[in-house]
Amino acid sequence: MTELEFLFPPPQVVSIPVAGSGTRFPVNRIYCVGRNYLAHIKEMNQDEREPPFFFQKPRDALVSSGASIAYPGATSDFQYEVELVLAIGTPGSDIPVEKAAEHIVGLAVGIDLTRRDLQVAARNSGRPWESGKSFDRSAVIGSVHLIGPEAIPEHGEIILDVDGERRQQGDVSELIWKPAEIVSKLSELFALQAGDLIYTGTPAGVGPVLPGEAMVARITGLDDVWIKVAAD
């Protein structure tokens, strides 16, 4: 059998570290849940009666903790959103809620970076959100902590600081859709695969971050995430 010849080198596998291990978690797709904390829905002036919805980011948008990133182009309102991230380890479709935890292999801290002005303009015109949500280096993530089905947290502080100032503070117990419900509902729309990541939504307090500022995101029991926006 002859080896495949590519026109140019294929993309490298995107992966993130597994806490306490030399192994890495290979990433397939990145899903995000919109409107999943009541206080955040209110601060964005959205209808709290509407259910959350899903959108995607490309896997090469991932940024590991400790990196320095450039302030993105085409925006004057670059914002942070701290989120609990679910790591899928077992594939499935139409997963019942009571079985959904069996498909979650790990948890991580994430920051959904957003060009808010572009997102709002797209939302108001009924257009897709890619320009505001799915741009380069817009999905910050820490290491994956492996867990069992019984270890999905029902409580835990979720916070984000900018240059030492508290900007977001909540508890994962405030999620409108819980992790098992998110996995079940998402699997009705897409066939989930091992390697998928699901950003589960952000609490209130989202706001802008400026060049030269650093963000630290924390969730109880998981590794912190640190990221800086380059001064230039």
Structure tokens given for 4: 């495949």
Q: What is the full per-residue pLDDT of the chain (232 aa) written as tens digits?
A: 567 899 999 999 999 999 999 999 999 999 999 888 877 567 766 666 567 789 999 999 999 999 999 999 999 999 999 999 999 999 999 999 999 999 999 999 999 999 999 999 998 999 999 999 999 999 999 999 999 878 899 999 999 999 999 999 999 999 999 999 999 999 999 999 999 999 999 999 999 999 999 999 999 999 999 999 999 7
Fold annotation for 15-229:
Fumarylacetoacetate hydrolase; domain 2 (3.90.850)
pLDDT for residue 35 = 80
pLDDT for residue 36 = 84
Beta strand pairing status for 104-112 and 139-141? antiparallel
- Which amino acid, residue 229? V
Instruction: Delimit the domains of the chain by residue range.
Output: 15-229
For the four alpha carbons of 230, 62, 198 and 128, in that order, the dihedral sign comes to: positive
Distance of alpha carbon 209 from alpha carbon 215, whole angstroms:
8
Distance of alpha carbon 31 from alpha carbon 165, whole angstroms:
29
Structure tokens given for 214: 């650093």
| Direct distance between the N- and C-terminal alpha carbons of the chain, in angstroms, rounded to an integer | 51
Q: CB of 89 within 8 A of CB of 100?
A: no
The alpha carbons of the chain give a radius of gyration, in whole angstroms, of 17
Distance of alpha carbon 118 from alpha carbon 132, whole angstroms:
5
pLDDT for residue 82 = 98
Q: Where are the alpha helices (DSSP H) in the chain?
A: 38-43, 97-100, 116-125, 130-133, 179-189
Kindly report the pTM of this predicted structure: 0.95
pLDDT for residue 40 = 59
Distance of alpha carbon 127 from alpha carbon 167, whole angstroms:
29
Distance of alpha carbon 193 from alpha carbon 54, whole angstroms:
16
